[in-house]
Chains A and B, each alone.
Chain A
Amino acid sequence: GAGVSQTPSNKVTEKGKYVELRCDPISGHTALYWYRQSLGQGPEFLIYFQGTGAADDSGLPNDRFFAVRPEGSVSTLKIQRTERGDSAVYLCASSLQASPTYEQYFGPGTRLTVT
C-alpha cells in the first residue's frame, strides 16, 4: 500500500517568505508527527497530532511555526517569515495510534532551503 508522502520534495524560498509543507499519512493512521533534520544531525521532534488535535507541540521552535490537521488526515506545516536557519529536511511520520506499541512510518521528507 501507499506509504507516507510529502510534498513538495524540495522547496527553495527567499528569507522572509511564507511556506507550507504537506504530509499525507498512511490511510487509517490516526497519529501524525513532524520532525526537522538539519545537516549532519538526527531528526528533532516538532509536533504530533492524535486525530485532529495537536497532542504535543513542545518542539516547535517559535511562533513562526504552525501545523494543522483539520480532518485528521493530511497535515500542513506552515512557516512564516522564513529565516536561513529554517533550512533543513522536514520529515513527517504516521502511526496507527500515538502509542509506543505502534511503529512510526516516515515519509521521504521535504528539503527546505531558505536563501
Chain B
Amino acid sequence: SQQGEEDPQALSIQEGENATMNCSYKTSINNLQWYRQNSGRGLVHLILIRSNEREKHSGRLRVTLDTSKKSSSLLITASRAADTASYFCATQRPGNTGKLIFGQGTTLQVKP
C-alpha cells in the first residue's frame, strides 16, 4: 500500500517559473526522500530530509518537512524544460532499515 500522496497529480508551468509539489504521509517516519523519474524508468535520488530537520536545500531544490502535519513540499526554482519528469516522495519508517514507501507522484511539465 502507498504511504504518501502527492498533489497536484499533474503540473504544467512555463520555463523560469517555480514548481511546488506536496506530499502527505500517514505514519511516523525516519526520513522522507524525493526522487525524479524520466520516461517511466529509473529513479534518480534528489534529496533526503530527516525527521528532525525542517528544511533542506540542494541547488535549485528546496524541501520542507512538517512532521506535525505529516507533510512535505518540494520546490523547484527557476524551472527548466529538462526538469520535465515525474516526482515521487518516499518515506522510510523508524526501525525499518530497508524499504521505501512511495507516493503516487506528480507529473511536471515545463514548457520552453
- A residues bordering B, Cβ < 8 Å? 31, 33, 35, 37, 39, 41-45, 48, 50, 55-56, 59, 89, 91, 93, 98-100, 103-109
Please pick, from B2, B31, B101, the residue contacting A100 in the complex, using a CB distance under 8 A. Answer: B31
The tally of CB-CB contacts under 8 A between chains A and B is 66
Contact present for B102 and A43 (CB under 8 Å): yes
Q: How large is the interface on B (under 10, 10 to 19, 20 to 34, 35 or more residues)?
A: 20 to 34
Q: What separation, in Å, do the CA atoms of A41 and B88 have in the docked complex?
A: 10
Does B99 sit at the interface, judged by CB under 8 A? yes
Contact present for A33 and B2 (CB under 8 Å): no
Does B112 sit at the interface, judged by CB under 8 A? no
- B residues bordering A, Cβ < 8 Å? 2, 4, 30-31, 35, 40-45, 48, 88, 90, 92, 96-105
Q: What separation, in Å, do the CA atoms of A108 and B88 have in the docked complex?
A: 16
Closest A residue to B35 by beta carbon equals A106
Contact present for A33 and B99 (CB under 8 Å): yes
Q: What separation, in Å, do the CA atoms of A95 and B94 have in the docked complex?
A: 18
Q: What separation, in Å, do the CA atoms of A109 and B105 have in the docked complex?
A: 17
Beyond contacts A50-B97, A93-B43, A100-B97: 19 other A-B pairs, Cβ-Cβ < 8 A, are A33-B98, A33-B100, A35-B102, A37-B40, A39-B40, A41-B104, A42-B105, A43-B90, A45-B101, A48-B98, A55-B97, A56-B98, A99-B97, A103-B45, A105-B45, A106-B42, A107-B42, A108-B41, A109-B42
